[in-house]
Amino acid sequence: MNFLFYAGKRFLQVIPALFGISIAVFFLVHLIPGDPADIILGQTATPARSKVIHHMLGIDRPIIVQYFSFLNHLFHGSLGKSYVNNLSVTKLILGRLSATAFLMCGGILLSLLISVPLAILAASKEGATRDQVVRVIPIVGLGMPQVWVGIELILLLGLKVHWFPVSGFGDSFLQHIRSTFLPALSIAIGLSPILIRSLRASMLEILEADFVLTAKAKGIGKMRVTLSHVVRNAIIASVTVLGVNIAYLVGSTVIVERVFAIPATGSLMIDAIATRDYPIVQGVTLFFAIVVVIVNLLADLIHAALDPRVAL
Amino acid sequence: MSTTLIRGKSLTGRLKFKGNGSFYLGIGIISLLVIIAAAAPLISHYDPTGQDLLNTLVPPSRHHWLGTDQLGRDVFTRIIYGARIDLTIGFAAVLLPFILGTTLGLVSGWFGGWFDSLLMRIVDTTIAFPFYVLAIALVFIVGPGPKAIILAITLVGWVAYCRIIRAAVLVAKELDYVHAAKLSGLPTARILRKHLLPNVISQAIIFSMSDIVLSILAIVSLGYLGLGVPIPTAEWGSMIQEGQAYILQQWWIPTIPGVMVVITGFGLSLIGDGLVRRLNK
């Protein structure tokens, strides 16, 4: 019951966040200097034609009316149509969703596989050599540009030993996994320095917590204490830390997909810059912000499910 | 004498370093990079954008320490000139969010009330936007170049400083020295500036070290995407992008600019860690 109450409360908090995002995206795009009619008509622009376009786009109305119309369309799942090919922006985004989902899930999975064991290893003996070694990783790793990590992975694991494809997304599920492995690894290597640092701190806190001391005092083996008491809490801590850094992770997919020429949602946006296709830029910006809010919500709900104290 | 008691330990007193070798190593690395960037024209007599189409993609030699790229430009020269661009924008981009975030955090934490609530809602909205997505949207609006990068970093970056300072102010404003300053009838602006700020700013300074790293990463990543500093200016990100096509023959062309970023990040992280260790003592 407590969990349901918490979930309901947390759902309600999403509403003002989404509202804020819609305002931010709407005004961000409406700050653009220049007339969209000129972009659509190009060389053929005349005042009369521009006026028709203004009316078609609805931008001859007061800005506040435009905002509510934008909001109304949004509620019906419509993000407008591309200026270039007149396709629905929602459909364009949905068409690229699976590639983005593969990158995000792969990135999350691999960064946990890298950072959780290292954080536990480091925290298991504070100040020991292994701790010192693990602590150097974030210091060196933080400065590694993900595009660069991607290119080095292409060189070492793609071109030298041919273990993984170096570009594209493949056609089947297994090919998708193989194709997104290196990009997901680049994302994970970029994210891990941040995760390791926070997780090590949480681990140290957990290892000094009363329940761990009690378990140790009872004479329970070190291995069992680590597995049953510490790892469970480590997972909880990872969910929280991932939730905090989810915007960073989502942003990483946008640049890394470019290195590996994967046709995911970020490329849709980057390509739209050259064609001045602003319904797409607006739609994708909104889409990514909503993804962050939803993943954050999920992280909080998982956290509450694993750790009942949160819902109290 | 009485003011020193009220203010507690002064900032400079706390930033004195003893036996903090890695901090000095960090300072050394960053100073060296800055000197190399500043002295670039003295170190290399090549023009970073000067093409030599008869000598493209030549391997490292006595004349070209790191060889030349696909347009015959000296790679070593481009790397040291690139340091000028990436370091300058990297440091400059952090300045504005630092000042803006610190000021807002100080005011918001001190006064609370509706301003604080409104600001926190804006913070919640801002952190929902992935940095690179917002940066790309801003490049779309203002066009590629340092302006868009600095604007994007400012729009997103102030939030971290605001939260750090606000949290520190909420704790510090209940401490005795602040109460004492209030009771002695000092004007609020003076208390904020002279008493509170020096005591809460250290965490923000520490964070700014990794923030500079992140902003350099942003410049490099946007440069890679072709949305950063326009070519042919020597910049590490666009060098990585241009070198990607030649990676099998000339792996060092895209690799070395990345190594430069790693070295910069290493130096700044060491400084940040040194500051943490010193302040936690």
ipTM score for this prediction:
0.83
Residue of B133, B257, B266 with shortest CB distance to A285: B133
Nearest to A187 by CA among A226, A141, A134: A141
Quickly state the pLDDT bin for A1 (edges 50, 70, 90): low
Helix (H) or strand (E) holding A268: helix A265-274
- Identify the pLDDT of residue B9: 47
Option in A24, A143, A284 nearest B261 (CB) = A143
**CB spacing of B248 vs A254 below 8 angstroms:** no
B 107-166 residues inside an 8 A Cβ radius of A: 121-122, 124-134, 136-141
B237's tokens: 């990100």
Q: Are B177 and B7 in contact (CB under 8 A)?
A: yes
- Is there a contact between B262 and A285 if contact means CB atoms under 8 Å apart? no
- Each of the 281 residues of chain B gets a pLDDT tens digit; together they read 333 444 444 444 444 545 578 889 999 999 999 999 888 788 877 778 777 777 777 788 787 777 788 777 888 889 888 888 899 898 988 999 999 999 999 998 888 888 888 888 888 888 888 888 888 888 877 778 888 888 888 988 899 899 888 888 888 888 888 888 888 888 888 888 888 888 888 888 888 888 899 899 989 999 898 887 887 888 888 888 888 888 888 888 888 888 999 999 999 988 888 888 777 65
Whole-number pLDDT of residue B3: 39
Chain B residue with Cα closest to A295 = B128
Helix, strand, coil distribution of chain A in percent, nearest 5: 80, 0, 20
Q: Is the CB of B210 less than 8 angstroms away from the CB of A142?
A: yes
Facing residue for A292 by CB, picked from B130, B220, B265: B130
Distance CA B199, CA B11 (A): 7
**B79 near A CB under 8 A:** no
Chain A: closest CA distance from residue B179 (Å): 33
Position B65 scores a pLDDT of 77
Q: Is A213 helix (H, G, I), strand (E, B) or coil?
A: helix
pLDDT of residue B97: 94
Taking the Cβ of residue B210 and every Cβ of chain A, the question of whether any pair is shorter than 8 Å is answered with: yes
Q: What is the pLDDT of residue A311?
A: 67
Predicted local confidence at residue A36, as pLDDT = 66
Mutate to test the interface with A, among B123, B125, B127, B271 (most CBs of A within 10 A): B125
Which residues in B lie closer than 8 A to residue A144 (C-beta atoms)?
Answer: 258, 261-262, 265
Pairwise CA distance, residues A241 & A235, whole Å = 10
- Cβ separation of B124 and A17 shorter than 8 Å? yes
How far is Cα A149 from Cα A187, in angstroms, rounded to an integer?
Answer: 9
Which positions in chain B touch A157 (Cβ < 8 Å)?
none
Asked if A246 contacts A299 with a C-beta cutoff of 8 angstroms, the reply is yes
- Chain-chain contact of B220 with A145 (C-beta, under 8 angstroms): yes
Q: Which of B88, B77, B39 is nearest to B239 (CA)?
A: B77
Nearest to B213 among A33, A142, A251 (CB): A142
Nearest chain B residue to A267, by CA: B225
Find the CB nearest A247 among B130, B139, B268: B130
Structure tokens at B15: 């930033």
Q: Sign of torsion, CA A110 A116 A117 A118?
A: positive
Instruction: Indicate the residue of B122, B140, B262 with minimum beta-carbon distance to A281.
Output: B140
Residues A242-250 have a mean pLDDT of 85
| B40-279, CATH topology level | MetI-like fold (1.10.3720)
If one counts every other C-beta atom within 10 angstroms of the C-beta of residue A259, the result is 26
For residue A193, give both structure tokens.
Answer: 């320095």
Chain centroid, CA B54 distance in Å = 39
Contact between chains at A143 and B217 (C-beta distance less than 8 A)? yes
User: Do the chains contact at B273 and A293, CB–CB below 8 Å?
Assistant: no
Out of B131, B133, B266, name the one closest to residue A140 (CB). B266
pLDDT for A8-29, tens place per residue? 888 888 888 888 888 888 887 7
Q: Which residues of chain A does B90 touch, with a Cβ-Cβ cutoff of 8 Å?
A: none
Residues A272, A166 contacting (CB under 8 angstroms): no
| CB within 8 Å: B247 and A255 | no
Rounded CA-CA distance B251/B262 in Å is: 17
Q: Other C-beta atoms within 10 Å of A264: how many? A: 25
Measured between beta carbons, the chain B residues lying within 8 angstroms of A252 are 132
What's at B172, amino acid-wise? A
Mean pLDDT of chain A: 82
Do A151 and B247 make contact, defined as CB atoms within 8 angstroms? Answer: yes
- SS3 label, residue B165: helix
* B237 contact residues in A (CB cutoff 8 A): 145, 147
Bond preceding residue B232 cis, omega within 30 of 0: yes
Select from A181, A9, A61, A200 the least CA-distant residue to A120. Answer: A200
How close is the nearest chain B Cα to the Cα of A230, in Å? 26
Chain A interface mutation, best of B79, B133, B164, highest count of A Cβ atoms under 10 Å: B133
Residue type, A132: Q
Smallest Cβ distance to B132: which of A255, A273, A276? A255
B46 three-class SS: coil
pLDDT score of A34:
63
> In chain B, where are the structural domains located?
40-279
CA distances from A94 to A77, A265, A283, A287, B233 (A): 11, 8, 11, 10, 37
Among A286, A266, A275, residue whose Cα is nearest residue A85: A275
Residues on chain B touching A23 (C-beta within 8 angstroms) = 125
User: Token pair for residue A76?
Assistant: 């019906």
More confident: B27 or A161: B27
